[in-house]
Structure 1
Amino acid sequence: MVNRPVESVSLLAVSKTFPAEAVLDFARLGQTAFGENYLQEAEDKITQLADTPECPTLTWHFIGPVQSNKTKSIASLFAWVHSVDRLKIAQRLSSQRPAELAPLNILLQVNTSGEASKSGLNPAEVEEVASTVAKLPNLSLRGLMTIPNPDHREEDLQHEFLMCKSLMDKLNQTGLHLDTLSMGMSQDLETAIACGSTCVRVGTALFGKRDYSNR
Structure 2
Amino acid sequence: MTNGFITENIAAIQQRIRVAETEYNRQQGAVTLMAVSKTRSANEVAVAAEAGIVDIGENYLQEALDKQAQLTDRGLCWHFIGPIQSNKTRAIAEHFDWVHSLDRIKIARRLNEQRPSDLPPLNICLQVNISQEDSKSGFAPQAVLAAAEDIAQLPRLALRGLMAIPQASDDEAQQRRSFAALRELLEEIKHALPAQPLDTLSMGMSGDMAAAIAEGATIVRIGSDIFGPRQ
TM-score (norm. length: structure 1): 0.93
Shift in Å at residue 137 of structure 1? Answer: 1.6
Distance in 2 of aligned mates of 1:80 and 1:120: 17
Partner of 1:21: 43
In the alignment, is residue 79 of structure 1 matched against residue 97 of structure 2? yes
Q: Deviations over 1:32-63 (max 9, x none)?
A: 1100000010010001111x4xx3x1100000
Give the residue type in structure 2 aligned to 1:21: N
Partner of 1:10: 32
Bigger shift: 156-165 or 102-111? 156-165
Task: Count matched residues.
Answer: 207
- After superposition, residues 46-61 of structure 1 pair within 5 angstroms as 46-50=68-72, 52=73, 55=74, 57-61=75-79
Which of the numbers 44, 50, 54 marks the counterpart of 2:66? 44
Partner of 2:207: 187
Give the residue type in structure 2 aligned to 1:73: A
Which of the numbers 121, 131, 156 marks the counterpart of 1:138? 156
Which of the numbers 35, 40, 53 marks the counterpart of 2:57? 35
Equivalent residue of 1:21, what SS? helix
Cα RMSD (Å) of the superposition? 1.1
Distance in 1 of aligned mates of 2:90 and 2:206: 30
Equivalent residue of 2:116, what SS? coil
Shift in Å at residue 156 of structure 1? Answer: 2.1
- After superposition, residues 150-165 of structure 1 pair within 5 angstroms as 150-151=168-169, 153-165=171-183
Distance in 1 of aligned mates of 2:132 and 2:230: 27
Give the residue type in structure 1 aligned to 2:214: A
Equivalent residue of 2:26, what SS? coil
Gaps of 5+ in 1: none
Identity between Structure 1 and Structure 2 (%)? 52
Give the direction of change, closer, same or farther, for the CA distance of 1:127–1:81 in structure 2 (3 Å limit). same
Partner of 2:190: 172
Q: Which has the higher helix share?
A: 2
Partner of 1:199: 219
Equivalent residue of 2:29, what SS? helix
Which of the numbers 110, 113, 116 marks the counterpart of 1:92? 110
Give the residue type in structure 1 aligned to 2:227: F
Distance in 1 of aligned mates of 2:187 and 2:197: 10
Distance in 2 of aligned mates of 1:168 and 1:22: 34
Shift in Å at residue 153 of structure 1? Answer: 3.0
Equivalent residue of 1:6, what SS? coil
Q: Deviations over 1:7-39 (max 9, x none)?
A: 111111111111000111111122111000000
Give the residue type in structure 2 aligned to 1:16: K
Equivalent residue of 2:201, what SS? strand
Shift in Å at residue 152 of structure 1? Answer: 5.8
CA contact (8 A) 2:158 2:197 kept: no
In the alignment, is residue 148 of structure 1 matched against residue 170 of structure 2? no
Distance in 1 of aligned mates of 2:83 and 2:168: 18
Equivalent residue of 1:121, what SS? coil
